[in-house]
Amino acid sequence: MDFLTLFLIYLCFVLAVTALLCLCSGRKESFLARSVNRASQVLSLVIPTQVQRVTHQALHRLFHTRSCLFMVLHIALQAAVFGEYTWEVFVYCWELQFPLLLLLLPYLLLAGNMGCFLLCSRANPGIITKSNAASLVKVYAYDGMLFQRGLVCPTCSVEKPARSKHCSVCRTCVHRFDHHCVWVNNCIGASNAGLFLLYLLSLTATAGAIAAVTAAFLIQVLLLSNIMHSTYLDAQGQEHTVEIPLLIQHLFLTFPRVVFMLGFVILLTLVLGGYSSFSLYLALTNQTTNEWCKSRRFGGFPHLASQPHDRPLVYKNIYSKGIWRNLKEIFKPPTVLERKKK
């Protein structure tokens, strides 16, 4: 039971850290950010300067420059999971006469996910250039709060259209900028937001399908072994019925790699499911991650000239057009001509 307890604690810890990161990500001066800054200041007193410099350069190269490292890691994790699924789960389930369509479902979802992954990583997210900046300015209206008219990007030297942002990683301005995703090594913008949403949903479905088939296999093993109706003797010689923790420990001793993979894909399904739900919410309300974060920090924005100082500013999303039209816009971004017709 020691390993099982540690494994459950590990899963709970990772989930708690992930939830904490999600909750604190939109706060400019969050408790998490202050804690990290203080911890780095304390560590800087004991870590040699040369080591700090090398670590800083490595982290900067990893998270602030375009790199294929996370793409390779993404493919490696999928290869490891599907390798284990094929080597053990698929073979055993085939012997147990599971439906073939159920066993092939993860592979079908993987094919769709890899297609969205490749298209999203290679697509132009909506890079703003001097040749298209004037036309892109006419696509979205300026709300006067998150986006102001007449601002020029100091790096690209172009007028910034509404809902755009300069990406320091790609070193370009992106139209309807959402965020830079290290996993696809590309920005998410107007032209590939729909592909990214499909990528997230298919990845969540793939992990969920593997978890469901693997769990069904392990349950079938327990039913066939009839261990659920067995008893055991403890150290004092007393007889007890087999409980769920002991069943999990028995499965881990029998199929250690399968149980570990199941725990990993369940955790992955929960994390991806939460992020996919958040991305779907943004799509249905016609918001980007950048706009959602900015709107949460809007209390620090200066007052507009036309706004009374005694009345607090309230952000209103002017880009939402209803659920159906918002979702349609993700997959078919509006053009200048479409806006003129409206």
Measured at the CA of 261, the angle between CA 112 and CA 203, to 5 degrees, comes to 20
**The pLDDT value given to residue 339:** 47
DSSP H or E stretch at residue 188: strand 186-188
Residues 6+ apart with CB under 8 A from 265: 81, 207, 208, 210, 211, 214
Distance between CA atoms of 261 and 253, rounded to whole angstroms? 14
103 in Cβ contact with 127 (< 8 Å) = no
Out of 156, 167, 173, 181, pick the active-site residue.
181
| Distance (Å, whole) CA 164 – CA 126 | 9
Q: Kindly tell me the burial class for residue 83, based on how many C-beta atoms sit within 10 Å of its own C-beta (0-12, 13-18, 19 or more).
A: exposed
* 11-34 residue pLDDT tens: 676 666 655 554 444 444 444 445
pLDDT in tens, the chain (342 residues): 455 566 667 667 666 665 555 444 444 444 444 555 565 566 566 666 666 566 655 555 555 667 788 889 899 999 999 999 999 999 999 999 999 999 999 999 999 999 999 999 999 999 999 999 989 999 999 988 889 898 999 999 999 999 999 998 888 999 999 999 989 999 999 999 999 999 999 999 999 999 999 999 988 888 887 766 656 555 666 665 666 666 777 777 788 888 888 988 998 999 999 999 999 999 999 999 999 988 877 644 444 444 455 555 667 888 999 999 999 999 998 876 444 444
Question: So where are the chain's domains?
Answer: 54-300+314-340
Give the pLDDT of residue 31. Answer: 47
Cα-Cα-Cα-Cα torsion 126, 129, 135, 140, nearest 10 degrees, comes to: 50
Per the rule left: phi > 0, alpha: psi between -120 and 50, beta: everything else, 127 is beta
- Partnered with residue 187 across adjacent β-strands are 180
Q: How far apart are CA 68 and CA 169, in angstroms?
A: 13
Which residues, 6+ apart, have CB-to-CB distance to 309 below 8 Å? Answer: 303
Using a pLDDT cut of 70, give the percent of the chain over it.
68
Q: Is 181 a catalytic residue?
A: yes
CA 326 – CA 328 distance, rounded (Å): 5
Laid out side by side, the sheet with 165-167 consists of 127-128, 172-174, 165-167
